[in-house]
Amino acid sequence: MKKLANKVALVSGGSRGIGAAIVRRLAADGAKVAFTYSRSAEKADAIVAEINAAGGSAIAISADSSIAADIINSVNKTVAEFGGLDILVNNAGIYIGKDFPEHTIEEYDQVMDVNVKAVFVAALEAVKHLKAGGRIITIGSNMAENAIGPQTTLYTMSKSALQGFTRGLARDLGPKGIAVTLVQPGPTNTDMNPDNTEQADYARSRMALAEYGTAEDVAGLVSFLAGDEGRQITGSWVTIDGGFNA
């Protein structure tokens, strides 16, 4: 039997990049998977068709992670479709990089709404359904512990907030048998962060392994944390960055 058989997962921002890899991996490991998307409807439909054709179960839900009502609706749709919820993966995120004086309050709201508030709202709704053995896994960034250069203040602040959230929520949900973890990827080859640019060359020069990670690397770690092997890991984070922060 596959290790996540009879489990139900919800992944935010699952139509491309790391999110899509997580959706595919959880489905391959036996979970029924719902995931949200905001703009990539065709990609979302293609992933659903791919998983269902392979004998899995998946649905795509249109949702804007900056809107609390959309997040709440995505949890409720998942439960209505699959009969419960066991694994919440908060993956959706945005980056706005500017010199600090050029930022606006509106940009602060944009980044914090998606990168922090959405995680809080999703967890708040999910705990109504999660039982003992449940998981809340959030995708953060190695930049929570390493502001790699200028124009990163707003993003770094938002990702650092997830560390405090993970610690506190683990304490709150520990008595219920629910584990809460944070995954902090570093340079990862996706369409938004390709490994063949000058910026990528610089990133590799700072990495111990000097090699970009893949979305599948991150998905494998999420699968581990979601399974029985990860049951004793809570209130902490795992940085998967090829040694960038070493």
Nearest-CA neighbor of 88 among 180, 158, 171, 161? 180
**Residue that has been written with the tokens 């940009």 in this structure:** 107
Distance separating alpha carbons of residues 57 and 167, to the nearest angstrom: 32
Beta-carbon neighbour count of residue 153 at 10 Å? 14
Q: In the chain, how long is the greatest CA-to-CA distance?
A: 55
| Token code pair at residue 229 | 């092997």
Query: Hey, what are 139's tokens?
Result: 């995708």
Annotated active-site residue 155? The verdict is: yes
**Of 37, 95, 108, 155, which is the active-site residue?**
155
CA distance 92 to 71: 11
Dist CA 60 CA 77 (whole Å): 10
Tokens of 84: 């419960």
Q: From the CB of residue 45, how many other CB atoms can be counted at a distance below 10 Å?
A: 13
Q: Which residues are catalytic?
A: 155
